[in-house]
């Protein structure tokens, strides 16, 4: 599971990496500002060099604050499902409210307590795994539905050379038997029929009924 740390403090980088490495999180990338994070995440929609599963994002940074950065990240379709855990030194109700409104999943306080940090990281990564599984199931279901619809269309489509009697217009079916045209079409398509008599047949069958 790849984790992106966004913080302008080298000491914070070292501390967070040390805690995460000891727990077995080896794939950790650190950047020192929001713009560097946007580049690492390919915010423009390109293919990122690393597919991140979690972002640890400092609220207070010099170029662009973490809350604004989180909002921009969550506006991207290809990044929306990545959990963002905010890192805050000055925890205020307004900061937390703004962070959650921007799309943050959770927060940790500076300096991070290792047990608290690992618990929140584990919870966020579990959420990411569940989202990924759900998206895979939804994609599988869409593919199955598309395949089913295609199969139904194939079954209901008339294709190839059809043998039809030039006199009575019956059709030779797949079993070699002659079958009425309407029966054959009903079995091999979704067409429905209503019966009537055309003018030519009325003249032929009921000459005294149809006016000349």
Q: Domain 3-142: what homologous superfamily?
A: Response regulator (3.40.50.2300)
Domain ranges of the chain: 3-142, 158-205
pLDDT, one tens digit per residue, over 135-164 is 888 888 888 888 777 666 655 556 666 788
Which range has the top average pLDDT, 85-94, 110-119, 140-149, 174-183? 110-119
Q: Tokens for 133, please give them.
A: 């599984």
pLDDT, one tens digit per residue, over 17-45 is 999 999 999 999 999 999 999 999 988 66
pTM of the model: 0.66
Q: Taking a C-beta distance cutoff of 8 angstroms, is the pair 85, 107 a contact?
A: yes
DSSP 172: E
- Give the pLDDT score at 89: 79
- Give the pLDDT score at 22: 94
Give me the count of residues in the chain. Answer: 212
pLDDT, one tens digit per residue, over 59-104 is 998 889 999 999 999 999 889 999 999 998 776 778 888 999 999 9
Span 47-52, average pLDDT: 76
User: What Å distances lie between residue 44 and 19, 84, 85, CA to CA?
Assistant: 31, 18, 22
CB atoms within 10 A of CB 117: 21
What SS3 class is residue 70?
helix
Q: Which residue has the higher pLDDT, 185 or 132?
A: 132
């Amino acid at each position: 599971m790849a984790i992106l740390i966004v913080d302008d403090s080298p000491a914070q980088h070292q501390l967070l990496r040390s805690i995460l490495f000891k727990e077995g999180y080896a794939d950790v990338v650190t950047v020192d500002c929001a713009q560097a994070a946007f580049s690492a995440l390919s915010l423009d929609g390109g293919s990122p060099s690393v597919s991140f599963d979690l972002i640890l994002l400092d609220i207070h940074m010099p170029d662009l604050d973490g809350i604004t950065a989180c909002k921009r990240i969550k506006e991207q379709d290809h990044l929306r499902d990545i959990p963002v855990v905010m890192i805050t030194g000055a925890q205020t109700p307004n900061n937390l409210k703004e962070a959650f409104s921007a799309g943050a999943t959770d927060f940790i306080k500076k300096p991070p307590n290792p047990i608290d940090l690992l618990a929140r990281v584990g919870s966020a990564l579990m959420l990411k795994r569940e989202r990924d599984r759900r998206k895979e199931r939804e994609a599988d279901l869409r593919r199955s539905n598309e395949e089913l619809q295609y199969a139904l269309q194939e079954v209901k489509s008339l294709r190839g050379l059809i043998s039809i009697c030039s006199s009575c217009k019956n059709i030779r079916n797949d079993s070699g038997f002659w079958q009425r045209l309407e029966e054959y079409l009903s079995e091999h398509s979704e067409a429905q029929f209503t019966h009537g008599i055309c003018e030519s047949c009325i003249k032929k069958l009921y000459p005294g009924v149809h006016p000349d």
